[in-house]
Structure 1
Amino acid sequence: MNAVLTDLVQYYGILPDETTNTTTVPDLANLTGEEAIYELAKAGFTTNLVDSEKTAVVVSQYPAAGTQAASGSLVLIFTSMTTFNDEGVYKELVAVPSLVERRRQDAFDKLAALGLVLSFDKTQCTGQILTQSIPEGELVPPGTTVYVTFPTPTPRPEEESTTPPPEN
């Protein structure tokens, strides 16, 4: 398994620990992407259809069918439309989602599910995202970094003293 997939598995908690309720991952082979999404939802899993082609046939999935995985965890689906390079790394382009008006964690989760990376100025990262470096809908390879900006924090006005001035 390549490093990107390993990182995703760890990030999304696909592999269960001792205290997690587990469910058997269904066999999705030869289903369409749309059918696979339905079967996973029925079994209590979330999914990321890697190439977004709902009519293509599922050729691979992670975790594999029959594996015990944490209930509610992510199952990656690869269809006949998914392509890999010589190192086994997914190379299909993905559409950048709109991140404007999203909160930082929501944007991070959305990009991570697509194999994209979120970057921002760590000193200005509160509130909702104002701009993003790559426009919504642009096709980019997984691993691409999307830079976002947040509103500039407004300085707090100095607290006014409630103590009356001294009497003369």
Structure 2
Amino acid sequence: MILDIRIFGDPVLREKCAPVAEIDDEIRRLAADMQETMYDADGIGLAAPQVGVPIRLFVYDVRDDEIPPGVLVNPEIVEEKGATKEEEGCLSIPGLSETVERSESIVARGLGLDGESVEIRADGILSRCIQHEKDHLDGILFLDRVSPLKRKILLAKWRKQERD
């Protein structure tokens, strides 16, 4: 089922999300619906608060044959190395993108939908995607990771888009 993606300004996007206490059929169904929603919106990642559910879960698919799609529950980033700047956008802030600095490579840990521990060593687009989606679980948007001047410009552009 395709879910409604919450748009910038919705308070759920600024919440620090609660850990998932138990991975049950409801959580698995939510993850499947989130994947369907992500594909429908042509995104590469989607966090639960983006569909109005303030829990620590996200889905991803960076559309690379070497990197399978996945789900991470209660994720943590336990190691970060290097720095890189690339352009990012967000399904919750359609029409805006900006260059954002992120760690070049990371190690993320969490749980899969089977409840088993998962560790992901990532660089490139997968590293960026995981960092972006994990930020959502802490109420952080990519706009928060740009300079105050760029943020002001982006917010003005957003307000203009909303009026038009």
Return the TM-score normalized by structure 1.
0.24
More helix by share: 2
Which of 1 and 2 has greater Rg? 1
Taking CA–CA contacts closer than 8 Å with sequence separation of 6 or more, which of the two structures ends up with the larger relative contact order? 2
Please give the TM-score of this superposition, normalised by the length of structure 2: 0.24
